[in-house]
Structure 1
Amino acid sequence: MKAFRKLCITITAVFVLLAAVLNVCLLRTDNSSGIYRVEVKRLTDEITQTGSYDLSQYPHLTGVFTGDDLYTSDEPYVIIDGNDTLYRVEYTTENNHHDLMIVNSVFGAIFLILMCVLLYIRQHIIVPFGRLNDVPQELAKGNLAVEIPEGKSRFFGKFTWGINLLRESIEDSRKRELSMQRDKKLLLLSLSHDIKTPLSAIKLNAKALEKGLYKEKDKQLAAAQSIGKRADEIEQFVSEITNAASEDFMTFEVTQSEVFLSSILAKINARYASQLALSGTEFAIENYDDCILSCDADRLAECLQNLIENAIKYGDGRQIKLSFDKVDGCELITVRNTGCTLEEKELPQIFESFHRGSNAAKVQGNGLGLFICKRLMSLMGGEVYAEIREKCFCVTLVVKLA
């Protein structure tokens, strides 16, 4: 707000200075000087040639005098010589007040319009944005109860709506996380309690066998079988713990619709073309036949963004290319980057959550990008797969055609 106020003051000062300079220049300019001088020249020629003159032909000349009145006048005049006789020719000078008024009126109108535009910007953009200034910071701190002011501004309506959606999404994620943590804690407590019973039985039977309390082979066999049975129970509990730990921890919402391939690629090109050009990476989108895809447009764009981000991270920075093909009613979109250092034997694991390849040692990440792509493509009825071709890493999205 302070910067905008300074801008308004600067613009006002510049306009006032320009108006002052323009007025001074206009006041110093005599627009009629050229006209009356021309008429005086014509009058001199007429007197020289005819010895007389007709003053009505010279609208800017008010009088011609000679003799004793030659130099006595309070009006502006000029002395001419016609037929060896000196004449005093009086004239009128048109002032610039009319032009000055017009120029100042135009200048004032422009200034007024500019002030109205700045006021409109202040009321409909600067002030509403100022109210939203602290919202992202509060959300980052975890304050989900921060007030998001509602407004009818057409400039920030969608932005406010998006911030509200973001807050709701964060709140839902937090609730799911707390619920998941509570459920898993209860599960672990329950399983740990259940494990104690067979574990105690195993320890008792093991001690009995160790001390030779069972002399008969039948009892020894029964004790050994009991140990094996209890061990199977513990193994089952451990399996449940493992399954609980590997449960899906992320939920996704997909809204199927129909979208042109060109609109998706336009977003991707707008986001990455200039960025990659600055870093010296060749970003190419091969020729394609535009078609209508059956998918969630935002989610498909998210998948492509994940693949391109991976290509930026793990490629050698020389080239990232998008190519296209059609197979069995599906559009195949392949993101290819040069400089692949991933081993081919690792390909089956790269779509698992939190899995990071051997080439990711010096690159920051959490191993979720390809996992998210696979989940989203599955929810959209598509598929994703990866392969290594000629030392290039290629990931292909299989999207159904509408």
Structure 2
Amino acid sequence: MNKFRKIALLVLVLELAIFVCSYFYIKEQSTTGTNGMVRVEIKRALDEARKGSGTEKEILGIAKNYPHIISIRPYDENQVDNRAYQVEEIGGRLYRFYYIDSASQPGQKGLLFTFIAVFIVTGSLLLYVARTILRPFENITQLTGELAKGNLSRPLKQEKSGYLKQFLWSMDMLREQLEDNKRREMEFAKEKKSLVLSLAHDIKTPLAAIDLYTKALEDNLYTDEDKKTAALHGIQKNKEDIREYVNRIVEASREDFLNQEVHMQEVYLSDVIAPIKRYYQDKLSLLNISFSIEPYQNCLIRCDEDRLVEAIQNGMENAIKYGDGKKISLAVSEEEDCKLISITNTGCRLKETEVDNVFDSFYRGSNATGIPGSGLGLYICRDLLHKMDGEVFARVTPPLFHLTFVVRKI
């Protein structure tokens, strides 16, 4: 912002300097040229008047023949006149020759008015740019710095108008979303920690019982077969308790770890396909991957638009990552009251026996060797589609991999 102020001040100073130089140059040229013409015309008018009949009417009418002479009037020493004139004698009488003063020429006044107008327009434009673009952008820069530091509580001041109004609103929504995610993550971590500590404490009891039974059996403390059988039954029971606790820990670790929310609404299918086309046409073109979207019939569907786009993006990224980089296509079909959005990529190396497992969390198939990833992409797709009352399934027809999203029509 400070740099812009310096540039704005420099622009205004340069404008002022150009005007001053232009004004004095034009004034100098005008003064030299006009004064010379005035002297020539007054001399010619004098010669014409002296050669004529010498009547006052004739003398006064001579002025119309010379463009720089405004008028000729008899001289009156008591008359005060601020106009430019020159006194000359004709036939023993004095006359005032009024002429055009170069200092009051329209050209110089026009230059002055033009400069004032340009100066005001330039200043207003610079002020407008500073207030509507640079100041909001400076706020955005400060916000991104705060986000990088992990400070998510600072709100972003909204602009009532301006080119960045929508962008500022989106950035503040992003900040709020990150803040909410951070809060939920902390709450979730706290709950998980409490649960793990509680279960760990609960596991100690059956472990101690198993340890006790084991030592008793090792030391042959039980001579009666019934007591030995009871001890084995006790070990079995406590083992089942431990297994239950472990299952609860595993289940707690897997349940809702993404905590994804959906907001169902009625949207046009084209509103979902359009951002996919806009983004991946450019991206796949840079990667030299052929990409096509088959013609489809637009209709209303029921879903969370942003979440469905996110799921399809996960599918597209999966096709890019695990395909052979030759071709990816997107097609839309219809089945009963549903729309089926299918992504197909070439170069599938996934075994058909693994297809049922690709939607499991953290699962990575045999085709993932040497390819970075977490094994969550398709799991997220399935979770989102289920929450939108939809479905997603995959199938392999070598060398093609098909991923199909099923959404409800309205």
**8 Å contact 1:132–1:149 — kept in the other structure?**
no
Q: 1:124 to 1:191 in 2, by over 3 A?
A: same
Match for residue 285 of structure 1 among 288, 293, 297:
293
Structure 2 CA distance for partners of 1:147 and 1:287, relative to 1, 3 Å: closer
Say yes or no: does 1:255 pair with 2:269: no
Q: Verify: 1:178 aligned to 2:191, yes or no.
A: no
1:114 shift after superposition: 4.2
DSSP-derived class of the 1:375 partner: helix
Residue of structure 1 equivalent to 2:245: 237
Match of 1:160 in 2: 168
The alpha-carbon deviation at position 100 of structure 1 amounts to 7.2
Shift of 1:335: 1.6
2:396 corresponds to 1:388 = yes
| Pair 1:269 & 2:294 matched | no
- Which residue identity lines up with residue 142 of structure 1 in the other structure? G
What secondary structure sits across from 1:215 in the alignment? coil
The correspondence of residues 290-309 of structure 1 with structure 2, limited to 5 A, is 290-309=298-317
The separation in 1 between residues aligned to 2:17 and 2:314, in whole angstroms, is 54
Once the 2 structures are TM-superposed, how far is the Cα of residue 366 of structure 1 from its aligned partner? 2.5
Q: The residue matched to 1:317 in structure 2 has which SS?
A: coil
Q: Matched residues in 1 for 2:256 and 2:120: separation?
A: 62
Note if 1:124 corresponds to 2:132.
yes
Q: Per the alignment, do residues 103 and 313 of structure 1 end up closer, same or farther by CA in structure 2, a change over 3 Å counting?
A: farther
Asked if the contact 2:322–2:367 (Cα under 8 Å) also holds between the matched residues in 1, the reply is: yes
SS of equivalent residue, structure 1 residue 388: strand
Moved more, 254-263 or 179-188: 179-188
Q: Quick one: distance in 2 between partners of 1:171 and 1:381?
A: 28
Q: Does 1:207 align with 2:223?
A: no
Q: Distance in 1 between matches of 2:307 and 2:27?
A: 65
Q: Which amino acid aligns with 1:378?
A: H
What is the rounded CA distance, in whole Å, between the counterparts of 1:341 and 1:17 in structure 2?
72
Q: Which residue of 2 aligns with 1:89?
A: none
Which residue is equivalent to 2:235?
227
Q: Do the aligned partners of residues 19 and 336 (structure 1) sit closer, same or farther apart at CA in structure 2, a change above 3 Å counting?
A: farther
Distance in 1, matches of 2:274 and 2:20, equals: 51
The 3-state SS of whatever aligns with 1:133 is: helix
My pick for the range that moved more, 156-165 or 121-130, is: 156-165
- Percent sequence identity is 40
Q: Decide whether the 8 Å contact of 2:153 with 2:179 is kept in 1.
A: no
The 5 A counterparts of 1:374-385 are 374-385=382-393
Contact 2:155–2:172 under 8 Å retained in 1: no
Aligned length: 350
SS of the residue aligned with 2:360? Answer: coil
Q: Say which is worse superposed, 216-225 or 356-365, in terms of deviation.
A: 356-365
For residues 254 and 395 of structure 1, the distance between their equivalents in structure 2, rounded to whole angstroms, comes to: 21
Give 1:368 shift: 2.2
Which has the larger displacement, 280-289 or 213-222? Answer: 213-222
User: Which residue of 1 is the match for residue 407 of structure 2?
Assistant: 399
Q: Which amino acid aligns with 1:179?
A: E
Give the AA of the match of 2:395. Answer: E
Evaluate the alpha carbon distance shift between residue 102 and residue 283 of structure 1 in structure 2; reply closer, same or farther with a 3 A threshold. farther
Distance 1:195 1:266, change over 3 A: closer
Any conservation in 2 of the 1:322–1:333 contact (CA below 8 Å)?
yes
User: Hey, what's the Cα distance between the residues in 2 that align with 1:224 and 1:7?
Assistant: 88
Q: Structure 1 residues 28, 167: CA separation in 2 closer, same or farther (over 3 Å shift)? A: same
Q: Give the drift of 1:230.
A: 2.1
Deviation of residue 326 (structure 1)?
A: 0.5
What is the root-mean-square deviation of aligned Cα atoms in Å?
3.5
Give, in whole Å, the separation in 2 of the partners of 1:302 and 1:248.
18
Q: How far apart are the structure 2 equivalents of 1:343 and 1:138?
A: 47
Residue deviations 1:232-268 (CA, integer Å, cap 9, x gap): 2222222222222222211222221111122222222
In 2 relative to 1, CA 263–220 (structure 1 residues): closer, same or farther, beyond 3 Å? closer
**Amino acid across the alignment from 1:324:** V
SS at match of 2:332: strand
